[in-house]
Amino acid sequence: MRHNRRPPLLASAMPPNHLNLRPGERLMAVCPDCNRWRLIRRSMLWPHRTDDGTTRCPGSAQRVIIDLTPTQWLARLAMACRQAATRRTRRIQLAPQPPTPTPIHRLTAA
């Protein structure tokens, strides 16, 4: 199987949530073109098709260099999760409701 002639992707340059380096599980990564999870075999993304099922995805057979250990990757993933948690608001602030007007049948004739 030939690669797609693009420069190889470094695992350290990819976002940690686009990789799966957990021990005991298959190596997987997100395809940079179709944004779907694909297996990594023989140091490249396994060949796959686009949504139409006939044409080959341009990110298919993309070389991936795993330059991280699973513990380094897990540390990067934990740090990214912590950073995302600090960006989100903890409390929803609702706007005050306007007062409801008096019903028409309770208004006095002037």
Domain assignment of residue 58, yes or no: yes
Look up residue 25 and give its DSSP letter: S
The residue-averaged pLDDT of 24-31 equals 93
Domain assignment of residue 3, yes or no: no
The residue-averaged pLDDT of 85-92 equals 71
- Whether the pTM exceeds 0.85: the reply is no
Domain assignment of residue 44, yes or no: yes
The parent domain of residue 38 ranges over 9-80
Q: How confident is the model at residue 108 (pLDDT cuts 50, 70, 90)?
A: confident
Q: Mind listing the pLDDT tens digit for each residue in 33-81?
A: 999 999 999 999 998 898 888 889 998 899 999 999 999 999 999 998 8
Domain assignment of residue 42, yes or no: yes
The Cα–Cα gap between 36 and 39 comes to 10
Q: What total of structural domains would you count in the chain?
A: 1
Burial class (CB in 10 A: 0-12, 13-18, 19+), 13: exposed
Domain assignment of residue 38, yes or no: yes
Domain assignment of residue 56, yes or no: yes
Q: Mind listing the pLDDT tens digit for each residue in 44-57?
A: 999 889 888 888 99
**pLDDT the model gives residue 27:** 93
Pairing, β 9-10 against β 64-65: parallel
Domain assignment of residue 92, yes or no: no
**pLDDT the model gives residue 82:** 83
Domain assignment of residue 89, yes or no: no
Q: Are 50 and 107 in contact (CB under 8 A)?
A: no
